[in-house]
Amino acid sequence: MKKYIDTGKKDTRSGFGAGLLEAGRADERVVALTADLKGSLKMDEFAAEFPERFIQCGIAEANMIGAAAGLAISGKIPFAGSFAEFVTGRVYDQIRQEVAYGKTNVKIASSHAGITLGEDGATHQTMEDIALMRALPGMVVINPCDYNQTKAATIAAAKYDGPVYLRFGRPGVPNFTPADQVFEIGKALVFNEGSDVTIFATGHLVWEALGAAEALEAEGISAEVIDIATIKPLDEEAVIASVSKTGVAVVAEEHNMAGGLGEAISGLLALKCPKPLEFVNGGDQFGESGTPAVLMEAFGLNAAGIVSAVKRALKRK
Amino acid sequence: MENIEKLKTIATQVRRDIVRMVNLAGSGHPGGSLSSADVLTALYFSVMDQAPERWRRDAEGQDAFILSAGHISPVYYSVLARRGYFPVSELATFRRFGARLQGHPEVKKGLPGVFQASGSLGQGLSVAAGIALGKKLSGDNHKVYCLCGDGESEEGQIWEAGMFAVHHSLGNLIAMTDWNGQQIDGPVASVAGEGDLEAKWKAWGWRVLVADGHDMEVVLKTFAEAKVSDGRPTMILWKTDMGRGISFMAGTHKWHGKVPSADQVAEALAELGETPLGDF
């Protein structure tokens, strides 16, 4: 199988910060807003280099989304950032009315997604955000897998004209995709070709999926690993092509079942290519305090969890 | 004086449009539309630097207006049509399937003059503040106007936007509240008791002007004063009557979202009187 090298753990939110800075240098219309979480969102360098284009909103997320919409209407390219829960659940109606409905050119920068923000616990964690954003007509939902891909996705989001939900996280995770990649919105990436089973993964679970594929290879099982970096619009062609070939699939994500990538792929395959599916996700639960590693283990969101799901799936083939 | 008479005539025609639109559609919000008719007529026919032929959604090189209280779409649509943004005859399509004149304003169907959807209350002031900040960043000296309801000001986001506009010194933002004292469930004082809006906006750090929102001369004078910025955002609290201009609708919450019957429309139109502008 294809070898991927972890060049060292890095947090995807820093990939966002680096991408924001580069997008800001390339286009003076790029502005950044936050609700008292400049450091957490890694906006410090952008704010230092472009003080006028950094807009501190204070702890008032609803107004931040409206102000971002106003800035977009006036021709700016705003990235409005906070923790995933506070830029989705807390402001769902603001995003619906001010961003999605009018296809206003706002980028929702969503950090600390999933349970792996860790010790803060379930008030600050979310495994419902993808569901909320997917439900909005026309919203692009991007969930990159590592630092380099998050940086590239941020640059792509700035160039794209329309609402984008860009999801990333707090902990350091393996950085293994090319530093010079160009991110193509809506394109699934085949990271490993295989013939027995497809593993669709998104976010940092893509690395876990590659680990699972390696373990499965040792047992003689050939797993195709596909990075679904753009959850909406889903790369339907790539999903159907792979499952038509392998005949069975697993979907892995740091999100609950309801409304997540698993349901997105299920809905597509039910219509176009019905095959057995198994899921690695948060189920129907809230998170809790703990280190990211402990939580990943507890919720089964890791290579071992994916291997088990693949074995369940293969029995149903 | 000639200008004032002209504006009064337009406002009367706008009131006729409001009553007829709501009756034709069989739904809609006449009360707050009637209380804002004079202010919005003045704004579009005399105050703002804008014109239908150069309107663009990004408001570059022109003033912008955000209607935060989106339910008073009848007055908004009538004023836009009468100003020439789209044919007056289109007012007859209000709230119909496929119409650009949706129940609440929106931009998806491309109705000229509308910058942003509104209707989910409390959000427009944030959008207006964002546009004002965008203009500041781009070095565009034009103003951004926004109209909120007094009932709407029970929404917490209005006050978040109030804080934001002061903090970012948005002297180019002129917000207005249609202070008619009524909301769907009754007088504002009995529903939520939001208290002294003037004192509250002053405490928030805004420049506050309080004026009669029906006396056209006062309206124009107040706008003229508001346009001269002292660096702070400006809030104009318009003292108005819900249902103004039609005796049986005036001063009560009962006509917030009620449809006048054919007989009531005839009575209202008789009271308002015809104008040379003609009905749609």
DSSP-derived secondary structure letter, B231: S
Q: A233-250: per-residue pLDDT in tens? A: 999 999 999 999 999 999
- Smallest Cα distance from B277 to chain A, Å: 33
DSSP-derived secondary structure letter, A127: S
| Nearest Cβ partner for A75 among B125, B134, B168 | B134
- Whose structure tokens read 């006028």? A52
For the domain that residue A52 is a member of, what is the CATH number? 3.40.50.970
Which ipTM was obtained for this model?
0.96
CA distance A32 to B225: 34
In whole angstroms, how far apart are CA A16 and each of A42, A112, A148, A259, A301?
A: 7, 12, 9, 24, 23
CA atoms within 13 A on the CB side of A81: 32
Q: B27-79: per-residue pLDDT in tens? A: 999 999 999 999 999 999 999 999 999 999 999 999 999 999 999 999 999 99
CB contact under 8 A, A60 and B120: no
- Domain end point (choices A173, A201, A225): A173
**CB B222 within 8 Å of CB B237:** no
- Whether residue A156 sits in one domain with residue A56: yes
A275 SS3 class: coil
Distance between terminal CA atoms of chain B? Answer: 27
Strand-pair partners of A218: none
Q: B4-40: per-residue pLDDT in tens? A: 999 999 999 999 999 999 999 999 999 999 999 999 9
Provide, as residue numbers in chain A, all residues whose Cβ is less than 8 Å from the Cβ of B125.
Answer: 66
- Whether residue A143 sits in one domain with residue A32: yes
CA distance A198 to A192: 10
Q: Which residues of A belong to the active site?
A: 61
The answer to whether the bond into A233 is cis (omega within 30° of 0) is yes
- Whose structure tokens read 């070709």? A193
- What per-residue confidence (pLDDT) applies to B64? 98
Strands A223-227 and A189-192 come out as antiparallel
| Nearest Cβ partner for A70 among B60, B106, B128 | B128
- How many domains does one find in chain A? 2
- Smallest Cα distance from B125 to chain A, Å: 8
Provide, as residue numbers in chain B, all residues whose Cβ is less than 8 Å from the Cβ of A96.
Answer: 120
- Whether residue A208 sits in one domain with residue A74: no
Q: For B106, phi and psi rounded to 5 degrees?
A: -155, 175
How many Cβ pairs closer than 8 A exist between chain A and B?
118
- Whether residue A205 sits in one domain with residue A279: yes
Q: How many angstroms separate the most distant Cα atoms in chain A?
A: 59
Strands A172-173 and A10-11 come out as antiparallel
Does residue A233 lie in a domain region? yes
- What per-residue confidence (pLDDT) applies to B194? 82
Provide, as residue numbers in chain A, all residues whose Cβ is less than 8 Å from the Cβ of B137.
Answer: 31, 52-53, 76
**Residue of chain A minimizing CA distance to B65:** A70
**Residue of chain A minimizing CA distance to B60:** A74
- Whether residue A198 sits in one domain with residue A86: no
Range of the domain at A126: 10-173
B210 SS3 class: strand
Q: What is the mean pLDDT of residues B134-151?
A: 98
**Domain ranges, ordered by start, for chain B:** 2-272
- Whether residue A234 sits in one domain with residue A169: no
- What per-residue confidence (pLDDT) applies to B254? 93
Provide, as residue numbers in chain B, all residues whose Cβ is less than 8 Å from the Cβ of A27.
Answer: none
Q: What proportions of chain A, in percent to the nearest 5, are helix, strand and coil?
A: 40, 20, 40
- Smallest Cα distance from A57 to chain B, Å: 7
Which residues are within 8 A (CB) of B125 and not within 5 positions of it... i.e. 6 or more apart?
A66, B66, B68, B146, B148, B157, B158, B161, B162, B165, B175
**Residue of chain B minimizing CA distance to A77:** B134
Q: Which of A34, A39, A51, A50 lies closest to A14, judged by CA? A: A39
| Nearest Cβ partner for B130 among A62, A66, A103 | A66
- Whose structure tokens read 């969890």? A305
Which stretches in chain A have pLDDT values below 50? none
- Whether residue A277 sits in one domain with residue A151: no
- What per-residue confidence (pLDDT) applies to B2? 67
Does residue A179 lie in a domain region? no
- Whether residue A203 sits in one domain with residue A135: no
Checking if the pLDDT of B1 tops 60, the result is: no
Strand-pair partners of A58: none
Checking if the pLDDT of B193 tops 90, the result is: no
Look at the domain B2-272 and name its fold.
Answer: Rossmann fold (3.40.50)
- Whether residue A131 sits in one domain with residue A25: yes
Chain B CB within 8 Å of residue A104 CB: yes
- Whether residue A88 sits in one domain with residue A153: yes
- Domain end point (choices A173, A197, A214): A173
| Nearest Cβ partner for A101 among B106, B132, B164 | B106
